[in-house]
Amino acid sequence: MFSRPLKIGTRTSPLALRQTNEVIGYLKEFYPEIRVEIVLIDTYADMDKITPISDIEGTDFFTREIEEALLRGEVDFAVHSAKDLPDEIPKGLCIAATTKSIDSSEALVSKNNLKIDELKYGAKVGASSQRRKTQLKKYRKDFQLVDIRGNIGERIKKLKDDNIDAIVVASCALMRLGLEAIIAQRIPADILAPHPLQGALAVELRQDNQKLRNILEVLNGR
C-alpha cells in the first residue's frame, strides 16, 4: 500500500485527537495493515481564545495551519470536524470523505442538571456560535447569553468558575470525550436546530494524490 506511515494532521485538542483516532479505527477496518503517524498542529483557533465564533464562522480559523501543512506536503491528509471547514476549500485541496454523524444534537450542560425549561428566569447561558445564540434567544428571551470559547474542557470549566448557569455544546463532542453523563438534556431540534454537519468528520487531502484519495473514500458514511 504505502512504504511509510501516512502522516495525519490534526488540531492539538483532546477532542481532535479522539476524532482522528476514530478515523484511524474506521480505516483499519478496511486496511488492517495501514500505518499512520499523527501530527499535532496548533491552529490559530487554538491560540486565539478571545475572538467570538460568530466573527469567524465560514472562515479557515480552525483549519488554516493544517491546510498549509497539507499543501507543503508535511502531512498526507487531515481530519477535521466537518462543521469547522471553511466555506471555500483552498485551491489544491479536496475533501476525500465525510463520515456519518454520530449525534447531531445540541447538548445542555447545566448546574444541578436542569433542563432548558427548568433554568431560572434570566439564567446566564454560555454558547459559541451565532446560530446557537440566536435560536436560544428566540426560545427564551430572558436568557443572558454569554460568549464562550475554548476546548470542551475549558468550556465546562467556565460553567463552574464564571457564574454561568448552563452551557450549550455539541452532544457528539461530549460523547467522543466520554462525558455523555454530564448532559442534562439533548435540546430538541425545534428549539435549537444543529449545524447540518454536526457530529460528522471530514478527511481532507491534496487534490493530486489520487491513490490516497481512492483509499480514503471508504470512509464516506462510516
Q: How many CB atoms lie within 10 A of CB 172?
A: 25
**CA–CA distance from 11 to each of 3, 97, 107 (Å)?**
25, 18, 23
Q: How far apart are the first and last CA of the chain?
A: 21
What domains can be seen in the chain, in order of their start residue? 6-100+200-219 (3.40.190.10), 106-187 (3.40.190.10)
Q: Look at the block and give the residue holding cell 483499519.
A: 28
Q: What is the dihedral of CA 143, 144, 145, 149, to 10 degrees?
A: -130
Active site residue 84: yes
Here the cell at position 177 is 470525550
**Which of 76, 84, 103, 165 is an active site residue?**
84
Strands (DSSP E) found in the chain: 6-10, 36-40, 77-81, 93-98, 106-110, 124-127, 144-147, 166-170, 185-187, 201-206
What confidence score (pLDDT) does residue 59 get?
Answer: 79
What confidence score (pLDDT) does residue 43 get?
Answer: 87
**Range list of H helices, 31-91:** 44-47, 53-56, 64-72
Q: Tens-of-pLDDT digits for all 222 residues of the chain?
A: 677 899 999 999 999 999 999 999 999 999 999 999 999 999 877 776 677 776 767 778 889 999 999 999 999 999 999 999 999 999 999 999 999 999 999 999 999 999 999 999 999 999 988 999 999 999 999 999 999 988 899 999 988 877 899 999 999 999 999 999 999 999 999 999 999 999 999 999 999 999 999 999 999 988
Cα angle 79, 13, 146 (rounded to 5 degrees) comes to: 110
The DSSP output letter for 163 is: -
What confidence score (pLDDT) does residue 49 get?
Answer: 66
The H or E element spanning position 29 is helix 14-30
